[in-house]
Amino acid sequence: MSAAATQARTAALPGTATAGGRLRRVLQAMMIGLRPMILGYCLVMIVSFTIGGLITQYVGGGLDHSMWDYGTQSPKYFSAAIGITLTPALFTLMIAHGVTRRMFAIASGVLLVGTAAGIALLWVLVYQVERVIYTWAGLTQALENPHLFTKTSQVGLIFTEFFLLIVSHEVAGWLLGIGFYRFGFWKGLALLPLGVLPAAAAEFLLVAQWIAQALENTGYHRPPLAVAVPGVIAVSALGLYFGYLLIRPIGLKPAKG
């Protein structure tokens, strides 16, 4: 077939036959599968931390802390659960319907990064809404946990902290899910230290939230953000690439035992 004929045939194909079109379709399918889990979490999180924060502070004698700061661990661990769930829940179904392993791996990486950005933006938003309410009511919005930011008007630092912690925990969860799915329980268990490396690296590089005080008590302090932020990005990117390599040879049937 001539080059002109090949180009004409390619141009005549529908948009979903292109690589970008296929990627969009796979991402849409993944989002449909995970949407109840993600939206349900966001709804429960907003309601529970609003009510829980109010109760905690009223019992303690009044509103003098940020309500949302009591729940900063939640998005990390939920995001790890997303990563763990992704491959066991969707891999077999999608491969059986003609999605290539390469496309599944790429779409998984895009989904994890996009979900991390979305949840981080949600935390930025709730901090800002709370700041407006507290300012209007004359309340103190003190932060319960150490952060990269010192006040909730530092939107860029809020997003950076939550995005990096969330995406690193997602990647760790994804590696764990792939490991257990591909190799079975015992080999997956042996790979556990490697799987949690992105999350551990983020915690030690950013030194934020609940683990910060414990690390500082040992004499360890956060490296400069110019080192910490690119470090977390690099480790998370390597984790995504390693997950891509692990997925390429997986068979349709998960390993047993």
Is the C-alpha dihedral spanning 201, 202, 204, 209 positive or negative?
negative
Asked if 120 and 166 touch (Cβ cutoff 8 Å), the reply is yes
> Higher pLDDT residue, 42 or 199?
199
Question: Whole-prediction pTM value?
Answer: 0.87
**What's the pLDDT at 12?**
38
pLDDT band at residue 5 using 50, 70 and 90 as cut-offs: very low
pLDDT digits (tens, 9 = 90+) for 153-168: 999 999 999 999 999 9
Q: Helix or strand or coil: residue 99?
A: coil
What percent of the chain stands above pLDDT 70? 89
pLDDT digits (tens, 9 = 90+) for 97-118: 889 999 999 999 999 999 999 9
pLDDT digits (tens, 9 = 90+) for 76-89: 889 999 999 999 99
pLDDT band at residue 190 using 50, 70 and 90 as cut-offs: very high
**What's the pLDDT at 201?**
94
**What's the pLDDT at 146?**
87
Instruction: Report, as an integer, the average pLDDT of 194-199.
Output: 93
pLDDT digits (tens, 9 = 90+) for 54-102: 777 677 666 777 878 877 888 888 999 999 999 999 999 899 888 999 9
pLDDT band at residue 6 using 50, 70 and 90 as cut-offs: very low
Does residue 28 carry a pLDDT above 80?
yes
Burial class (CB in 10 A: 0-12, 13-18, 19+), 154: middle
Burial class (CB in 10 A: 0-12, 13-18, 19+), 145: middle
